[in-house]
Amino acid sequence: MLKLGNISLDVPFYQAPLSGYTDRAMRVLAHKYGAPLTYTGVILAKIALHKKAFNRLYFQPTVDEGLVGAQILGEDPDIMAKAAAAFVNVGFGLIDLNFACPAPKVLRRHSGGYLLKEPETAIKIIRSVRNSVSCPVTIKLRAGFDKSQESMDKFWQICQGAVAEGIDALIVHGRSVKELYRDKGDWEIISEVKHRFPQATIIGSGDLMDAETIVKRIKTCGLDGVIIARGAIGNPWIFNETRALWDGRPKPERPDLTEQGEVFLTHYEMIAETRSMLKSIRYFRKFSVGYCRHHPQRKMIQADLIAARSRDDLYTAVKKWFGVG
């Protein structure tokens, strides 16, 4: 069980925020296959203050998504607090604050990962969001802006401040902002966060691509939980596989190709609900790559799916490789 403030999840892992991926469609599938909580991708806080923001479907969680957290990004404590309240108001069950994003345009605006350089501002944001909503509030941060001692001191200062402000969980990705996605994430630093703050809920992130690794990380690092990020792209089954191992049951067989193809098409159709055909075909390519990763003829099927230019092309390729559609 994983406790996040007044919410209890029945398993200690859930869907990580993935900008450009964890939209409604991916969240519905993650929920269906056993994720007890999913997050949006990162959203600019000030967008929530626009009158028409919540007309967009993306900003309104639906019942078939289960429990969804909104992850927000910004550098102004007041705007962050107002945005948090607005997201809760439309049905998000949890707020996550992004102190992790390494994108240059985000760093230039002094938000996301940049805030790891400014512990006072980061802590002000935490305090003001904490006071604006009664749902759980978590923060996602990287292990420092870079590997310097000064950066690490600031990282610990933020962890300390967040715990003192009553944050409901610290989600730590074991790479610095400067490291982007290079090399392997450092799980020792994540364990050390738990060691230094044993009373706080500490959740780890980094390189969790299969159920075995997920269970191993939770157990060997002494963590309260982990989030599953790239490992869930085109692979919603990772959640029920991890559930089985976590409960001490054997890992279930992968669904046969027919079922994989059906899920693939369901995913595509959900994407197509809100986009033109051309846009949905383009947008879906990155998910296709994920679904292909587990197919015995990965390379050939990938080429066919990526070459699809219309819904008909996509269905023809799925019929050929998965036998459905």
Ligand X SMILES: Cc1cc2nc3c(=O)[nH]c(=O)nc-3n(C[C@H](O)[C@H](O)[C@H](O)COP(=O)(O)O)c2cc1C
Restricting to residues 20-39, which ones interact with ligand X according to CB under 6 A?
20
* HEC secondary structure over 245-281: HHCCCCCCCCCCHHHHHHHHHHHHHHHHCCCCHHHHH
Contact flag: residue 210 with ligand X (CB under 6 A): no
Rank residues 16 and 202 by Cβ distance to ligand X and give the closer one.
16
Q: Which of 15, 38, 71, 132 binds ligand X (CB under 6 A)?
A: 71
Beta carbons within 10 angstroms of residue 272's beta carbon? 18
C-alpha distances in Å from residue 35, one per residue of 44, 264, 306: 25, 18, 28
Q: Which of 61, 204, 206, 261 binds ligand X (CB under 6 A)?
A: 206
C-alpha distances in Å from residue 158, one per residue of 126, 164, 165: 10, 10, 10
Q: Which ranges of the chain does DSSP label H, i.e. alpha helix?
A: 24-32, 77-89, 104-108, 119-132, 149-164, 187-196, 211-220, 237-246, 257-272, 277-292, 298-307, 311-322
Rank residues 53 and 233 by Cβ distance to ligand X and give the closer one.
233
Q: Which of 231, 234, 236, 261 binds ligand X (CB under 6 A)?
A: 231
Q: Which of 264, 270, 200 lies closest to 237 in space, CA to CA?
A: 264
Restricting to residues 96-115, which ones interact with ligand X according to CB under 6 A?
98, 100
Contact range with ligand X by CB under 6 A, out of 147-155, 204-212, 215-223, 313-321 = 204-212
Rank residues 284 and 322 by Cβ distance to ligand X and give the closer one.
284
What gap in Å lies between CA 29 and CA 176, rounded to an integer?
A: 30
Contact flag: residue 290 with ligand X (CB under 6 A): no
Site string for ligand X, 133-162 (x = CB under 6 A): -------x----------------------
* HEC secondary structure over 56-100: CHHHCCCHHHCCEEEEEECCCHHHHHHHHHHHHHCCCCEEEEEEC
Rank residues 88 and 177 by Cβ distance to ligand X and give the closer one.
177
Q: Which of 193, 211, 229, 238 binds ligand X (CB under 6 A)?
A: 229
Q: Which of 2, 4, 16, 26 binds ligand X (CB under 6 A)?
A: 16
Which three-class secondary structure state does DSSP give residue 315?
helix
Contact flag: residue 313 with ligand X (CB under 6 A): no
Contact range with ligand X by CB under 6 A, out of 25-33, 78-86, 206-214, 316-324 = 206-214
Contact flag: residue 261 with ligand X (CB under 6 A): no
Q: Which residue has the tokens 């760093």?
A: 107
Restricting to residues 40-69, which ones interact with ligand X according to CB under 6 A?
41-42
Q: Please, what is the minimum distance in Å from the beta carbon of residue 126 to ligand X?
A: 15
Rank residues 41 and 74 by Cβ distance to ligand X and give the closer one.
41
Label residue 145 exposed, middle or buried (CB < 10 Å: 0-12, 13-18, 19+): buried
What gap in Å lies between CA 179 and CA 173, rounded to an integer?
A: 11
Rank residues 135 and 229 by Cβ distance to ligand X and give the closer one.
229
Q: Which of 223, 148, 216, 150 lies closest to 179 in space, CA to CA?
A: 148
C-alpha distances in Å from residue 152, one per residue of 144, 247, 255: 5, 36, 44
Contact flag: residue 226 with ligand X (CB under 6 A): no
Contact range with ligand X by CB under 6 A, out of 121-129, 143-151, 228-236, 299-307 = 228-236
Q: Tell me the site size for ligand X, rule CB under 6 A.
A: 19
Q: What is the β-pairing status of strands 7-9 and 2-4?
A: antiparallel
Q: Which of 151, 201, 205, 242 binds ligand X (CB under 6 A)?
A: 205
Interface residues with ligand X (CB under 6 A) are 16-20, 41-42, 71, 98, 100, 140, 173, 205-208, 229-231
